[in-house]
């Protein structure tokens, strides 16, 4: 059995003369929380529609849990729980009826559905809303209910298109925590988003797509190390007259690559120091400045964030 629960190879999709995907290759490890990142129009939804058997690739292949999405559609659909960006909600049903209906669609026996519905509502913390009409729920609660519906047949992998779209900050945090809990229960989570801070909080792996092409993918930690080979530290000085002394001291430190005077902030002189990525250089810089009695009121390292990574590898392209 492959280590990857989702794999694609040279995946292409044409809509007439328009090419939405240009040879996309994905590798999603079992048990991962994989964030699929890209600007609008990058090809995220098209890829997801192929993975969920709702669209056929023009070229290449895609497999979910070892099953080809074109030749083993039924097996793929049994393995996945899919929540599209615009999910359907039957608003004249009560919450428990909504889940019971979808459980019946997956041929779950009637005598098992009551227990199942109760467990799903407890998982998404909606037991207290079971008798409410779906129409009365907030958008965040509807998202939770739709997520519970994707779990009705106990799928191995969840494919979620923008699960936090349109939610307020509290609801986004709650959905994020729920996804992390599902991963702890053994589910593989594959979801798209353009909210980079949400992805960074919970993802173990990411893939960045732009203009229908995969730019980069891998574990989040590995990608940060690979693409952030140079560290940047901003020094804010108490005494503007020490700028040259700071520059000379920093350049003498092993691992320092450059020192640049940058715009002052709040009237204070500042310098940007670029140095090698290892911790030893950072510690040596700090020690050298202290030894020279340099009066600093700021020693701030640039954060190695997903947003920084995204901006470094993308070019603002669409297909």
Q: Is the distance from CB of 265 to CB of 236 less than 8 angstroms? A: yes
How many whole angstroms separate alpha carbon 238 and alpha carbon 109?
A: 73
Split at pLDDT 50, 70, 90, the class of 316 is low
Higher-confidence position of 64 and 170:
64
Residue 265 binned pLDDT confidence (cut-offs 50, 70, 90): confident
What proportion of the chain, given as a percentage, has pLDDT over 70? 96
Query: Could you tell me if 241 and 267 are in contact, meaning their C-beta atoms sit under 8 angstroms apart?
Result: no
Q: Round to whole Å and give the CA distance between 31 and 3.
A: 10
Which part of the chain has CATH 3.30.70.260?
A: 230-302
User: Are 232 and 65 contacting, i.e. CB atoms less than 8 angstroms apart?
Assistant: no
The pLDDT assigned to 1 comes to 66
Q: Phi and psi at residue 203, in whole multiples of 5°? A: -75, 140
- pLDDT mean over 249-258: 92
Over residues 69-79, the pLDDT tens digits come to 999 999 999 99
* Confidence label for 308 from pLDDT (cuts 50, 70 and 90): confident
Give 199 or 105, the one with higher predicted confidence. 105
Burial level of 6, CB count in 10 A (0-12/13-18/19+)?
buried
Mean pLDDT (whole number) for 93-98: 94
Q: What is the pLDDT of residues 132-173, one digit of tens each?
A: 999 899 888 998 999 999 999 999 999 999 888 778 888 888
Tell me: pLDDT of 318 over 50.
no
pLDDT greater than 80 at residue 228? no
pLDDT at 115 over 70: yes
What's the CATH class of domain 4-225? alpha beta
* pLDDT score of 41 more than 80: yes
Q: Other CB atoms closer than 10 Å to residue 313's CB: what's the count?
A: 14
Q: For residue 313, what pLDDT is reported?
A: 76
Which superfamily, per CATH, for 230-302?
Answer: ACT domain (3.30.70.260)
Q: What is the pLDDT of residue 134?
A: 92
Other C-beta atoms lying within 10 Å of the C-beta of residue 119: 13
Task: Answer whether residue 312 shows pLDDT above 90.
Answer: no
Phi-psi region at 55: left, alpha or beta (left = phi > 0; alpha = psi -120 to 50):
beta
| pTM for the structure as a whole | 0.79
Q: Output the pLDDT for position 174.
A: 87
pLDDT at 59: 96
Helix, strand, coil shares of the chain, percent, nearest 5, are 40, 30, 30
Mean pLDDT, the chain, rounded, equals 90
pLDDT at 14 over 90: yes
Q: Where in the chain is the domain with CATH 3.40.50.300?
A: 4-225
Query: Which pLDDT score, from 0 to 100, does residue 224 have?
Result: 75
Cβ-based burial of 85 (10 A; exposed 0-12, middle 13-18, buried ≥19): middle
Banded model confidence at residue 319, pLDDT cuts 50, 70, 90? very low
Residue 64 has pLDDT above 70, yes or no: yes
The whole-angstrom separation of Cα 146 and Cα 54 is 18
Average pLDDT over residues 250-256: 93
Name the pLDDT band for 230 (thresholds 50, 70, 90).
Answer: confident
Asked whether residue 2 carries a pLDDT value surpassing 80, the answer given is: no
């Amino acid at each position: 059995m492959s280590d990857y629960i989702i794999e694609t190879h040279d995946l292409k999709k044409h809509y007439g003369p328009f090419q939405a995907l240009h040879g996309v290759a994905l590798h999603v490890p079992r048990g991962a929380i994989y964030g699929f990142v890209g600007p609008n129009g990058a090809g995220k939804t098209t890829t997801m529609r192929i993975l969920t058997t709702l669209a056929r690739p023009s070229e290449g292949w895609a497999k979910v849990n070892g099953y080809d999405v074109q030749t083993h559609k039924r097996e793929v659909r049994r393995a996945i729980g899919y929540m599209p960006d615009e999910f359907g909600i039957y608003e004249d049903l009560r919450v428990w009826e909504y889940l019971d209906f979808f459980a019946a669609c997956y041929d779950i026996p009637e005598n098992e559905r009551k227990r199942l519905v109760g467990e799903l509502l407890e998982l998404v913390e909606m037991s207290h809303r079971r008798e409410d009409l779906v129409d009365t729920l907030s958008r965040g609660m509807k998202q939770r209910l739709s997520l519970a519906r994707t779990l009705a047949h106990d799928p191995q992998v969840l494919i979620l298109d923008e699960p936090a779209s349109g939610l307020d900050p509290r609801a986004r945090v709650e959905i994020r925590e729920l996804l992390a809990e599902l991963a702890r229960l053994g589910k593989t989570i594959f979801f798209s988003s353009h909210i980079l801070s949400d992805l960074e909080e919970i993802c173990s792996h990411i893939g960045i797509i732009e203009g229908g092409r995969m730019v980069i993918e891998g574990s989040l930690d590995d990608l940060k190390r690979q693409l952030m080979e140079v560290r940047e530290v901003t020094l804010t000085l108490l005494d503007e007259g020490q700028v040259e002394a700071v520059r000379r001291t920093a350049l003498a430190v092993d691992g320092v690559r450059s020192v640049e005077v940058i715009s002052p902030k709040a009237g204070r002189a500042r310098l940007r120091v670029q140095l090698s990525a290892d911790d030893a250089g950072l510690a040596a810089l700090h020690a050298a400045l202290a030894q020279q009695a340099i009066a600093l009121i700021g020693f701030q390292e640039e954060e190695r964030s997903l947003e920084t990574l995204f901006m470094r590898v993308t070019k603002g392209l669409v297909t």
